[in-house]
Amino acid sequence: MMIGAALMVLIGITSVSDAYASIDFDVIFFHIGMFGIVANVERSGLLGSLMFRLLSPFKHPRSLLITFVFIMGFLSALMVKDTMVGS
């Protein structure tokens, strides 16, 4: 994104002042906060423990794969930053 923004300024599509004005610091700080929360949840082992508890009852690879796909889809809809920004 930085390369694209720099090229737009260098080519003359947008001015430097317009480029600075288009920076949304609320979104930047939101992303920094989300990255911090997810990194700490991952380091704590919560995600691994949750996945072990959710997936351990399934012994067949096909049922494990189907369950994994649906659980990841559900959790990503709740926790991924893009979902939060889009709403």
Domain boundaries, the chain: 25-86
* Pairwise CA distance, residues 11 & 15, whole Å: 10
* Pairwise CA distance, residues 34 & 66, whole Å: 28
Look at residue 71 in the predicted model and tell me its pLDDT: 84
* Pairwise CA distance, residues 29 & 45, whole Å: 25
pLDDT tens digits along 52-87 = 887 788 888 898 898 889 888 888 877 766 655 655
Per-chain mean pLDDT for the chain: 86
Mean per-residue pLDDT, 31-44: 92
Residue type, 42: E
Residue pointed to by tokens 């399934």 = 58
Better pLDDT: 17 or 85: 17
Q: Answer for the pair 9, 16: CB distance below 8 angstroms, yes or no.
A: yes
Q: Answer for the pair 33, 27: CB distance below 8 angstroms, yes or no.
A: no
